[in-house]
Amino acid sequence: MQYRTLGRTGMQISPYALGTLMFASAVGNADHGDSIRVIHKALDAGINFIDTADAYGDSEEVVGKAIEGRRDNLVLTTKVSRPMGEDPNQQGASRRWIMTAVENSLRRLRTDYIDLYQIHRVDPTTDVEETLSALTDLIRSGKVRAIGSSTTPASGIVEAQWVAERRNLERFRTEQPPYSILNRGIEREVLPVAQRYGMGTLVWGPLAQGLLTGRVRKNQRNDLSRAGFFKHLNDERRIDIVEQLIPLAEEAGMPMTHLATAFAIAHPGVTSAIIGPRTTDHLDDLLAGIDVVLGDDVLDRIDEIVPPGTDVGALDQDYRPPALESASLRRRPLGERAAA
């Protein structure tokens, strides 16, 4: 396994990171023992970066059990800000919640420090200075080594960098955006901005959350369990693109999973792609592709099918700014809409 420097943190991480959402009992593997075996196999293969979140059900607890005795040999990241209950203050990026949430994550992970602590989703109700101030205190206390953001618009990345500089606060060292052959929108601004500020980029969804596994075909029954509640997994536009990619993978002599993951880590702005296997078979398939290198001819063909900077449909889990969520923020009162 080759390793890449995570932005300017100095930390060396594997080009494939182990995502742990599928180790949460409610949505993935209900067998903790089996999940722990998958984690151990990934670590034995050289993957040294584990990504989890407090909102992933009991995933942090599974990870905590799995890394006992191996903590010092891996880079561990978790996230905060997604809702953790009905209480409106058990979510977001306020100092009040961050200070509580980090203690909960440390306890569940059975560790006394987190290598990378990320804001899971943008919190438009909290001043970024408030968030960075709280995270800076966590770094100075030794509970956190570095901080990052996730699914943040380019403008938000720039604002956070400026605030950190002007207020002498720790700055976000990483960004975790969605990225796959089907969702290349971050190539326009997010990746260039992250590169400009020396940030590491940890992309999620390289397999388009199942669409790029080869298991989803046009006019065939979709057996993905998540297809029942994610609209983008039933988007005909996305499936039509998959039908064009499958013969490309066959011509290149590789399964779709290898084409998709190799594409994600080929971009110079991407540090690591987060894979999310649920079973050892899933992990074995992905590990079999760690030596795959996509030539310019294959990447050119992908560019023809999905032009650079293009998103084919929108991900359900992507960040949507308030102005897109609330019509009242896009429409003047009736009495003010006329030009005369």
Cite the active site residues.
Answer: 56
| φ/ψ of residue 4, rounded to 5 | -125, 150
Q: In sequence order, what DSSP letters do the residues of 19-35 get, joined into one string?
A: E-GGGSTTTS---HHHH
| CA-closest candidate to residue 49, choices 9, 20, 83 | 20
Q: How far, in Å, are 136, 138, 180, 223, 224 from residue 100 at the CA level?
A: 15, 11, 34, 39, 36
Q: How far, in Å, are 152, 294, 299, 309, 315 from residue 303 at the CA level?
A: 24, 13, 6, 10, 20
The encoded tokens of residue 302 equal: 């992908």
The encoded tokens of residue 163 equal: 């605030």
| CA-closest candidate to residue 137, choices 176, 173, 102 | 102
